[in-house]
Structure 1
């Protein structure tokens, strides 16, 4: 007779392969970046301050050469969305199992080279505010997100729907990886999980 072991979904996710989890996060971030740049490109120019007629490789080269400069973006972009997405970048390293300062380095690399001097530079000159606030404020917000997500994933009486929505807000990349089967498909398991005796481990 099998002992009473079971898979506990409420336990905090700790991947058994840190680098593999982080690589999967980077792939998901790349997809999110492409979708994000398309969404921003479709927004009115009065909001993004992007010139849609000027888009492409030559535009990227020119923008990289001209930058960085102080931008005139709306407050919500510079001081709300950039710190929030910096926190999302930071969460990928922390959820993979890396320490705080590794998360800070990861955030700086992603925000600077993947986004500011990467995709966004196709349509906009790199921004001084974004280069500063994303890798600095992002990890500070991200560390709060990280500890909050760890607490939410412990057994509690809170409604599952509320917990799920909160976890999605705190780390929509990690939520997708863990809850939609991407981790399992890549052979990544939760080390905190308890399996039935006849369930093979990754």
Structure 2
């Protein structure tokens, strides 16, 4: 058990390192060159009067009779993370994967010794799993006496994974926190784990709160890794492994070729101003996402 603690502590420290340096890496990233050979949605703007400093030009103003404005300058083949919209379909797939993983996790915990999990297997066998779940839900929550590795390492990590599942699907910080709180409370504490033990007070708090803070660090770290062509220390293997640890279900989903559904949007917006006519110039903007 000592070796397990050391290993899990090392994993937590490694992952926490991403949260410490990821924001700095994010801020230090220089903008990538834009491929100017790709233009969509060009809008013509006529007779726009632009005033410029005397130090740059002899005259104080010049007329740009025709200006082309590209409203969607996007570098080709650049991965978009996070999605520009809430992808409920992705979140649904991820949640379904949780159900399958929960069955596996329950089996692993059931196979572990009672000294590690504090599960009363004899009572589960005698009265049935459903009966034990009802008894545990009625009795909880309580302050549990689980090993500190389970309470303060694996639970915050689980909360971070819940958080990243939502955050990587295009949801906000608050929405991702709510998803982490829902999954840790309803799905795990009062769901899967309640079949074996009484819901834990500290787990109900530690998992979503500390987990979401850790998960936001994972979010910035993932952005940096994706911008770096999914590499860590120039290694694709380390990059993919890091993504798998921080956001396992979305990483697995992406590895199977998941793509967002095509979305189109047509909007009317001002694209310039005609000083001669003293009015705004309006144009149609068409956006398409694949």
Q: Does residue 1:108 correspond to 2:181, yes or no?
A: yes
In structure 1, what is the equivalent of residue 217 of structure 2? 144
- For residue 50 of structure 1, give the secondary structure of its aligned residue in structure 2: coil
Which of 22, 35, 41 is the equivalent residue of 2:104? 35
- For residue 54 of structure 1, give the secondary structure of its aligned residue in structure 2: helix
Q: Does residue 1:45 correspond to 2:121, yes or no?
A: no
| TM score, norm. by length of structure 2 | 0.59
Structure 1: distance between partners of 2:171 and 2:85: 12
Q: Gaps spanning 5+ residues in structure 1: where?
A: 192-200
- For residue 53 of structure 1, give the secondary structure of its aligned residue in structure 2: helix
Where does 1:37-186 land on structure 2 (aligned, <5 Å)? Answer: 37-55=106-124, 56-155=129-228, 158-181=234-257, 183-184=258-259
**How many residues are treated as equivalent by the alignment?**
186
Q: Gaps spanning 5+ residues in structure 2: where?
A: 1-36, 39-74, 264-288
Worse-superposed segment, 87-96 or 156-165: 156-165
Q: Displacement of 1:135 after TM fit? A: 1.2
1:15 and 1:190 in contact (8 A); partners too: no
- Between Structure 1 and Structure 2, the one with more strand by share is 2
Worse-superposed segment, 103-112 or 17-26: 17-26
Worse-superposed segment, 167-176 or 60-69: 167-176
Structure 2: distance between partners of 1:94 and 1:7: 22
Structure 2: distance between partners of 1:88 and 1:15: 21
1:67 and 1:127 in contact (8 A); partners too: yes
| Higher RCO (CA-CA < 8 Å; seq separation 6+) | 1
Worse-superposed segment, 51-60 or 116-125: 51-60
Worse-superposed segment, 85-94 or 153-162: 153-162
Choose 1 or 2 for highest CA Rg.
2
| TM score, norm. by length of structure 1 | 0.84
Q: Say what the alpha-carbon RMSD is for the aligned residues.
A: 2.3
Distance 1:46 1:15, change over 3 A: farther
Distance 1:71 1:107, change over 3 A: same
2:106 and 2:192 in contact (8 A); partners too: yes
